[in-house]
Amino acid sequence: MNRKLVLILLGGALSSFFVTQNLLAYDQHNTHPALTSEAVNFFNLNFPKSPISEKEKQLLIKGAVEEDILPRPVNHFYDPVYQRGWAGYRSSKVWARSSAQQQETRSLLALNPWSLQKSSENWPADFSYERALLDYAKGNRDRAFEAFGHVMHLLEDANVPEHTRNDTHLDVGHNTGSPYESTMAKWNPDNFDMAKKLYQSRQKPVLLDDLDKYFDAIAGYSNGYFFSEDTIQSEKFINPKIIKFKNINNSELSLGIGIDKNGVEFPIVLANVEILRNFIQIKNATLYHESIGTTILDGYWDRLSKDFVLHGAGALKMFLEQAEEFKKEYEARQALKKESKKSFASILGFGSQNNGIAMVQEFLNGTEVRPLLRSEVEPLKLSPSPKAEPLSVTTPVATSIPSPIISPTSSPVPTPSLTPTPTVKVEPSEEDSRSDLFKDPRSDLEVEKININTAGKEELMSLKGIGEVKSGAIVEYRETRGFFEKIEHIMDVKGIGLVTFDGIKDFITVGDTFKVGGGGGGAQTAGPTPTPTLSPTPSPTPEPELESALRKVVINEIAWMGTASSSNDEWIELYNTSSQSMSLSGWTLKAQDNQPNISLASKSIDPFGFYLLERTSGQTISDIVSDQIYTGALGNGGEILELWDAGENLQDIVSKSASGGWYAGNNGSTSPPQAKFSMERINPLTSGSNSTNWGNNNGLTKNGLDAGGNAVNGTPRSKNSIFVGQKPSKISNLAISSGSGQKVNFSWTAPSDQDTLSTNLQYNFRYATKSFDTTGDWDTAKLASGSPAVGNFGSGASFSLAIPDFNKTYYFAVKTKDVDNNFSDLSNQVSFLLPSAIGSTSWAMSGFDSSHTLKTSFLGPISASSSAKWSIQFWSNPASNFGQPVVAPNSTVYFGVQNGTAAQLWAVVPSGSGGSAKWEYSATSGASIGTPAVLSDNSVLFGYTSIGTEFTKVSDTGTLKYANNIGRVYPIVVDKYGTSYFTSSADKLVAVALDGTQKWVTYQEGITGLSPVALDDGKIYLTSRLNGVPNFYAFDAKDGNWLWSKTMSTGSSTCCGVSDVSYDAVNDFLYAGADQYILKIDRNGNTLEQITADRQVGWGYTTTMISQDTNNLVFGLDFSINNPASKSAVYAVNKSTKEVAWKYGVDAKINKQIAIDSGGNAYFSTQNGWVYSLSQTGGLNWKIDLSGTTSAYPVIGPGVLYITLDNARLVKIGE
């Protein structure tokens, strides 16, 4: 027995569960009404001539809601594999259909499934399908709809994996319920809008002829392709299969991937988790977890809800048709009853209490199976197995792969009842491409036009004026004469004239992709796929197109007039329209008068290749070797040529013109002189009996010489001069398979081309920062190099692209080009947001980031046990100076070093025991390298503060990317797009684009040496010291235009020095230090507030930028100018009160910046070579004497700190 049921029974909770109603499936008052409503809406859109009224819709919803009234829910389970219900109760399939089963509740309220109570056709709690038909026949249409609403509820439950995999999911707390059902309770009739989307994509209701078939189809899908929470990898069910696992964000968690019935991969389980289920069970796989939210469950709903709406609308159609049919039979029986004697009526069965139900049963058992429309129903092929395959269209394929281990749910496995059940193919949904649409006057919705080259008779009959006869004529025309090239050509069909055409022309199309062959089948015209971000769901891999039985090989060119050398030198060319080599053994090419009558040689014609037949002599085309010599002349007055295959199938026919002559070709003349021109076929895929499909050689494109050496006005063994090539098919499942940093990986399936081998196709892959909305967008997009070769149709393709850009959304699309320079239609577009240029876990530049927040998102080394882990001495002889270090996202430490004669940029890889030089880049001799800036791709930017003038970018491997002459470069700030900003000599503020070119330069006095901030508001902010007075400036980041300035108010013309600006994102203010003051200003430059740094002590001056913690401003003050014995201290001033929150005295002047980690701990250095860490309240975490002097400030990473010393040492401090 199910473990949860045991727990419930042991707890005495069976009766209480009837009260709590926790055995329900979809939410009673939200999800069930939503699904029922959308099924009705989809029905009305598809069958507008007989719509279901709003009143009837509400009755259906009422029935769907009330089916959950206790104790009915115990009969709401149907396992299609083992053909059973829950815990010995009836299955929902039986419960829905049978009046007798529903009437067994009369005495025992369904608690005893073996109760045998006499049934009645008037029992009020009977809402079975049989009863619904009887109520309808009796004229009680309202109750019939209410009863069928109960049936709809049961079909909806069959859409829930818990209800088809016998998962009790009784929610009594402690993680015992169904996460799927509880999550999907968010859907209700007000926010669930599926019907319009399905209708606009021309999807149709699934029409079956029996209620049982709907249960099997719906339950087969939910059982065979989806897990329930407590049947993940259950031993009871062999499906669904997990075909692979995808790691999540480099964690231990993995998504198990399955395949839905349309062949699309989607996540079906989360593995490598540990959760508690059902009070005591520890599980390592789940459908819901806080790390992924409802990703898996939403994927389930997207597929299952759509599947139900398609089937639910079809079930409504079946119900109404059977109800009308039974009503006629019932009324006929009632009339017969009135006319008959009672005894005779008794013989017919009219005397029993439940005779109406008996009539329904007799009707249903004797109903003929009608042809199914708009769906394909196939019997399921079952092979003997101890476990049952779920009833499905496409059985997921088991793949042996290394994967996380998911412990199966162990339960006794009964012997399954393998009842063959039909499965229904429903085409995959495609997004609305907004092309070939028209507004349907019946629904006022935009829907796709009907493709007259692919539509079947049923769909054609939905057009005004097109009935059974005309739709059949259209299909026959396609089969015998080929596709329509223009919609006007439909008037070539017998019975369709201008009046009919005018009534349908706005609602039809010929499509843009033709498939070899005719009939009412579906040509493959792929629609676009939704634009994904990182990992979209790809469209299903297309199935290879079936070769047509006709026109595999066609008569392609006829030189019935001979050549300039001789009228007898006739020749004929055949063409293979397929991608397969075709044997011509047993084939015949003949005229209807049998002159000529040519048995073709036992040769093969290559894919999309030619076969040349020359009359009498191999010198007819003297420079091309023929495939066969034949005898028999073609009549100049016209012939009907036929090509028959070995199976006596007419492959192609070329008829005569209306006048009885050839469709084309020119016999030439001697007076006046006129050349001979061959008769060429325009489109090999269009009928050879279509006069518009032939023309003369154009006289420009030629191939071959005749017996006299003259150029032939024809193209033997090559493409015709007037040939109209077929463009490759559109790629509709372009997807981003993964993306990391600036590298994006793509996948798609290879397209087809109806006249070109895949080896002769090329991909044209383009990308841009604008979506591809117009032809011009495609033309101006960047062409990617190194696209893969085109494989066989349907095979997988992959491509990787690295884009040297940041923080921009790029759009990607692909076209396919053939040898005739025909391009396919644009593929679906996908997009990807490149990462910011600023790494989130690195000290990327001066001030930590582009805002100079100085506050990191991680903890530094705070432990009291922190110590110097290693110290590396570089260039010890002669003495050298190290510049300010920065830390890259990959933990590489960059810094400049110089000794007066040489200069290098170093990249050091830290390790546990010591750092090692990754590479050194030799810079301008004797120059001083300024503070570098590092990007999120680990490349590094730097300039020179003396001698050198080049602004330089080096890759993370030490390769020079560019070096442009800019001038002096002071500390660099880089915004999220990769644009660099810095001050230079001569009071310049410079912006340099990502490619190293100067974007703009502006001048402002007093800014040299100071570092700006770049904010997301599109502005650059900077301090200056002009004539001894501090100022704030704002500039437009796009062009460098000055926006505003604000000057500090002082009583002295030489008041103060000024620090670099910093930004407090919490309170949205800019700060700077100015001697004994803290300056605070808003981003609009409205009010500049001056705060005294220490009101108690008095005059000192700030030596650092102003750092920000949550509540405090943190900075260094030096008092040695006023009182050398006072030395320095770190201060924290409350942002609100402006009072000192704490201060900590140190040994010497504090260097330029104080780093604040995510816990509010402060890190700084003094000029005497001490490094400190203080807590958020000013207590000492640790301090370390590095035995040297330094003007560098420490930079921190997660749990680590780096600093350089003046004696050419790099030191790592860690816990």
Instruction: Tell me the sheet residues that pair with 669.
Output: 674
pLDDT of residue 517: 31
CA 417 to centroid of chain Cα atoms: 39
Residue 299 has phi, psi (to 5 degrees) of -65, -35
The CATH number for 1049's domain is: 2.130.10.10
Listed residue (1086, 1057, 1051) closest to 1072, CA to CA: 1057
Pairing of strands 450-451, 508-509: parallel
Q: Do 268 and 296 meet the contact criterion of CB atoms below 8 Å apart?
A: yes
> Which residues have a Cβ under 8 Å from the Cβ of 533 and sit 6 or more positions away?
736, 831, 832, 833
Q: Of the candidates 696, 717, 748, which is a domain's last residue?
A: 696
Q: Give the amino acid at 871.
A: S
Q: Which amino acid is at 480?
A: T
User: What secondary structure letter does DSSP report for 823?
Assistant: B
- Looking at the fold, whether 1198 and 1120 belong to one and the same domain comes out as yes
Q: 674 and 788 share a domain? A: no
Residue 162 lies in a domain: yes
Same domain, 1080 and 1124: yes
The total domain count for the chain is 4
Q: Do 45 and 101 share a domain, yes or no?
A: yes
- Which domain, by its residues, includes 1071? 870-1214
Question: Does residue 1146 belong to any structural domain of this protein?
Answer: yes
617 and 677 assigned to the same domain: yes
Phi then psi for residue 1044, to 5 deg, are: -160, 165
Residue 747, domain CATH: 2.60.40.10
Helix (H, G, I), strand (E, B) or coil at 739: strand
Walk across the sheet containing 597-599 and list its strands. 597-599, 588-591, 641-644, 650-654
The tens digit of pLDDT for each residue in 694-725 reads 999 999 999 999 999 999 999 999 999 999 88
- Tell me, yes or no, whether 268 lies in a domain: no
Asked whether residue 520 is assigned to any structural domain, the reply reads: no
Query: In the chain, pLDDT over 70 holds for what percent of residues?
Result: 81
794 and 878 share a domain? no
Query: Do both 782 and 928 map to the same domain?
Result: no
| CATH of residue 651 | 2.60.40.1260
Q: Is residue 784 part of a domain?
A: yes
Residues 822 and 875 in one domain: no
Domain boundary among 784, 810, 834: 834
Could you give the CA distance from residue 452 to residue 481 in angstroms, rounded to a whole number? 14
Q: Is the dihedral of CA 285, 291, 297, 303 positive or negative?
A: negative
Q: What per-residue confidence (pLDDT) applies to 605?
A: 96
Same domain, 978 and 1080: yes
Nearest Cα to 507, choosing from 446, 549, 565, 454? Answer: 446
Q: State whether 875 and 803 are in the same domain.
A: no
- CATH number for the domain that contains residue 139: 1.10.575.10
Q: Measure the CA–CA gap between 628 and 324, rounded to whole angstroms.
A: 67
Question: How distant is the alpha carbon of residue 879 from its chain centre?
Answer: 58
DSSP string, 328-373: HHHHHHHHHHHHS-HHHHHHHTTTSTTHHHHHHHHHHHH---PPP-
18 in any annotated domain:
no
Does any domain span residue 484? no
Shared domain for 830 and 875, answered yes or no, is no
Res 340: pLDDT: 54
Residue ranges of the chain with pLDDT lower than 50? 1-24, 105-118, 172-174, 279, 341-354, 367-435, 442, 513-549
Picking from 678, 696, 714, the residue at the C-terminal end of a domain is 696
Q: Is residue 366 part of a domain?
A: no
Q: Are residues 1038 and 1103 in the same domain?
A: yes
Helix axes 129-137, 355-366, angle to 10 degrees: 110
- DSSP for 600-645, written as a single string: PPS-EE-TT-EEEEEES-TTSBTTS--SEEE--PPPTT---EEEE-
Structure tokens at 1144: 């900590």
Instruction: For residues 1134 and 462, give the distance between their C-alpha atoms in angstroms, rounded to a whole number.
Output: 76
The pLDDT value recorded for residue 471 is 85
